[in-house]
Amino acid sequence: MIKMKARRHEERSRGSNYHREGDMKHILIILIAALILLPITADARPGGATAIFLLIPAGVRSTGMGDAYTAVAEDASAVWWNPAALAFIQRSEIGSMSCNSLPGYHLPDLYLLNRDFFHHIRGVGSVGGNYTYLDLGESLRFNELGQVLEYFHTYELAVTGAYGIQVSENLAFGAAAKYIYSHLSDRGAGQEKGDGTASGVAVDLSMLYRYSLNPQARIQFGANLANMGPKMSYIDRAQADPIPTNLRMGTAFIIQHEDYFKVTLSAELEKGLTTRNSDGSTDPFYKAIFTSWCNDGGIFSKDEINELITHFGFEVWAMDILALRYGVWNNPLGKINYPTFGLSLQYVLFRFDYSHKYWDSIHAGEERFQLSFYIDHLKLLSPTPWKW
């Protein structure tokens, strides 16, 4: 799987001149990227998408809950998870997250950054933004004699703006628009047309529905159709690949007793919506949204069902100060299953989040840290985390 992705990206970023220039470092870059993204791309077999860093979840609370967060999404990371959820959060918040991408390799220059914010405007809705940056480190470029020519930096980023509006007491809709930039190399190889970079745009559409069972319990349903946009190319449009259009659908059961405790149970399904046909062509996103459900024997075939990634999460808050989390992430097609853990400490204006997940010996012990600040009308006031 990794070798296949490495070969495809190698052709995109350098064309057919690789052997002449001896630019071996590109292979290492793609292998590193594939290792970082392995758990989220193991189900990408039908589509062969590019810019797959867009599938890396934002935030830390979500990671501790096994990424079962689309129907929960009650912090600034909702810009990524479910923009519609922003409409129900009656406060403003800024969050900053960072983590090492491959802790098993002890490479400090491989890291992921997320910056999130949102602001609630009474009577209008909520607006927010997200900045995602994946750094793949500094690399060397060699000539055919093995001599070092120069250093170059490899990274990918996305900038997102989001809006959520509550259309009724129980229902909200949201949308997000994002700019995507992928910088594999600062120039192409040989006579190729491209320069090792690509850019694109995409939109997300989402919804969140909440139903109160009684004053202390409710059920929530959420969905987010993300990364709908045109294909991206590193060389020319004839070799363009789709971005990873993705659907998440989830539900959550929440019990809260004043400020003494709050318990959340969540479950989620995730499905990649990209399609690569037998002739090597790929469907545009507006077509792949439908064809990706039946390109492996039908919508209810075993192969299609195995492409569904499942997430389960549990969270408990005590005294609105301490939270503990546990989750499970399962990808049948990629045969990847791992547990996640997390905790939070919250005091008036600040919240600290921590999560830990164990994938395998390569990704062992990935840890995420996030610090969030609650803001209301640009003045530091006490937050109201949960409005029923």
pLDDT at 104: 58
Instruction: Give me the percent of the chain exceeding a pLDDT of 90.
Output: 49
Task: Check the CA dihedral 256-259-260-261 and report its sign.
Answer: positive
Do 157 and 181 touch, CB atoms closer than 8 A? Answer: yes
pLDDT at 10: 39
Do 47 and 242 touch, CB atoms closer than 8 A? Answer: yes
Report the mean per-residue pLDDT for the chain: 81
Separation CA 201–CA 161 (nearest Å):
12
- The residue among 342, 337, 331, 291 whose CA lies nearest residue 309 is 331
Q: Are strands 322-331 and 309-318 parallel, antiparallel or unpaired?
A: antiparallel
The count of other CB atoms within 10 Å of the CB of residue 377 is 11
Residue 213 lies in a domain: yes
Task: Answer whether residue 301 shows pLDDT above 80.
Answer: no
- Look up residue 355 and give its two tokens: 């999560």
Q: What is the DSSP string of 199-230?
A: EEEEEEEEEEEEEEEETTEEEEEEEEEEEE--
How far out from the chain centre does Cα 102 lie?
16
Do 59 and 81 touch, CB atoms closer than 8 A? Answer: yes
Model confidence pTM above 0.95: no
pLDDT at 30: 47
pLDDT band at 18 (very low <50, low <70, confident <90, very high): very low
Residue 381 lies in a domain: no
Residue 100 lies in a domain: yes
Do 226 and 246 touch, CB atoms closer than 8 A? Answer: yes
- Look up residue 171 and give its two tokens: 């229902």
Do 195 and 185 touch, CB atoms closer than 8 A? Answer: yes
pLDDT at 159: 97
First to last CA, the chain: 46
263-289: pLDDT as tens digits = 999 999 999 998 888 777 888 899 989
Separation CA 141–CA 370 (nearest Å):
35
Across 189-211, average pLDDT: 84
Q: Which of 146-155, 177-186, 259-268 has the lowest mean pLDDT?
A: 146-155
- Look up residue 250 and give its two tokens: 């989830």
**What contacts 294, CB < 8 A, 6 or more positions away?**
304
Q: Which of 160-164, 264-268, 289-293 has the lowest mean pLDDT?
A: 289-293
215-244: pLDDT as tens digits = 899 999 999 999 999 999 887 777 788 999
Residue 138 lies in a domain: yes
The more confident residue out of 114 and 259 is 114
Residue 133 lies in a domain: yes
- The residue among 76, 260, 112, 59 whose CA lies nearest residue 68 is 59
Write down the number of H helices and E strands in the chain: 7, 14
Residue 93 lies in a domain: yes
Task: Answer whether residue 87 shows pLDDT above 60.
Answer: yes
28-48: pLDDT as tens digits = 444 455 545 555 544 444 457
CA count, 13 A, side-chain hemisphere, 385: 21
Q: At what angle are helices 25-41 and 2-14 packed, to 10 degrees?
A: 130
What letter represents residue 137's amino acid?
A: G
pLDDT at 100: 80
Q: Which domain holds residue 216?
A: 2-375
Number of domains in the chain: 1
How far out from the chain centre does Cα 175 lie?
16
Residue 24 lies in a domain: yes
- DSSP reduced 3-state for 209: strand
pLDDT at 201: 96
Across 163-172, average pLDDT: 96
Residue 383 lies in a domain: no
Secondary structure letter of residue 168 according to DSSP: S
Query: Judging by beta carbons within 10 Å of its beta carbon (0-12, 13-18, 19+), is residue 265 exposed, middle or buried?
Result: middle
Separation CA 350–CA 95 (nearest Å):
10
Whichever domain contains 79, its CATH number is: 2.40.160.40
Task: Answer whether residue 297 shows pLDDT above 90.
Answer: no
pLDDT at 111: 85
